[in-house]
Structure 1
């Protein structure tokens, strides 16, 4: 399967119903709170994707493109945001993607975003861009799960969405991965090149002709989150740490592991 083949129809990207309801309430106020609005768009991968799509379509003349949630909200008028939330409401629901635990997917995506932002701060990269890339890094999963269910069922049976083997297993069994599909969607929606490259090369940052530090940050953040979810002990952490990626960014394993611990006990999505 080619990544583009997974996009043969407009993908319906589901958002957290709770976040969409809160966003609609906020945008329904006479003067929506911009900080709260930013928090809500920045807490959900699908909302962030919709926002970036609109911003890049409206500001197509800007050759640099719109690459973060914060930048998009700074450029778009507030009254143009409600239709996005209304569209998200139509596609949302905890069971909107068969075979995928959306609450787990939302929590995991948010955690990778937070870790990417923290790592970016450590190496003086743009924190808002790193956060956005981490938030949408696995959006390709939503597209893949909208395809033939038997394909993804076989993958899910072996490796869950947080499994460190996930991308390689998808590549072997499907001929593509969530990283490639997410990058194809971002490219189709005219996202900036650095963000497209970060999504495409997040699994293997050095495969790109020109190394993109953003891909390295997402790679390390996802490794940290997956290792935590998998309950890696010290030995497993040491042997699985992507040392070359860390070296390129000036980050060793201790620096990556010192980021805020991950709390998977909560049953809600942060807002």
Structure 2
């Protein structure tokens, strides 16, 4: 495995880990009562994720270009590994959510008092900050996992939407890049179709998933539902995300074939 692919795998894992941790942000906002500050601080990690995302696609595209120059007809195993790294990153993110909730809650309360990002970074990297991280490492409890199935009023339609949107977002760039193997003459057109594929998933999230999560967040703040029920809801959405990365394995190659055809027709 080349250095480029190794970097892509690491970046993909990081992107999916941060995206999965984003589900914990609403819980922290509800707990601290400072939703705006919570999202503002998390956006620092989002910047890291977006930077990794901008590096991922060019590195992968360069690998495909190099393969085509030496007449490699297919390299599907690499793409399967990349999708697998999405799953691993999502699972790691899910396992780190309890720890991340504690760390982000501490960061929110510290920033609320001192109102300084540099000072917040200094605290996090100090000996006391490292000790706090060590003391607050926590895995999801068995009791919480055991209650996930008890979701009588859980909107499974939203679960399916999140599963499908995650699968589409996972393979959007990958299928478009892989389509270059299937139709090399139109590989530039194929790569540019990733925005169209991602757009469909973005619309799905913007119209159905995000508004529903926002309503639930407000309901917790207003006391209409309990924080425990909200946490179980978020946990199910995390499971939907993990399942979506697994579904992406099935959709990847058919989607690449479709894009290879569309690239020639548009």
TM-score (normalizing by structure 1) = 0.27
Q: Report which of the two has the higher share of helix.
A: 2
**TM, length-normalised to structure 2:** 0.27
Which structure carries more relative contact order (alpha carbon 8 Å, separation 6+)? 2
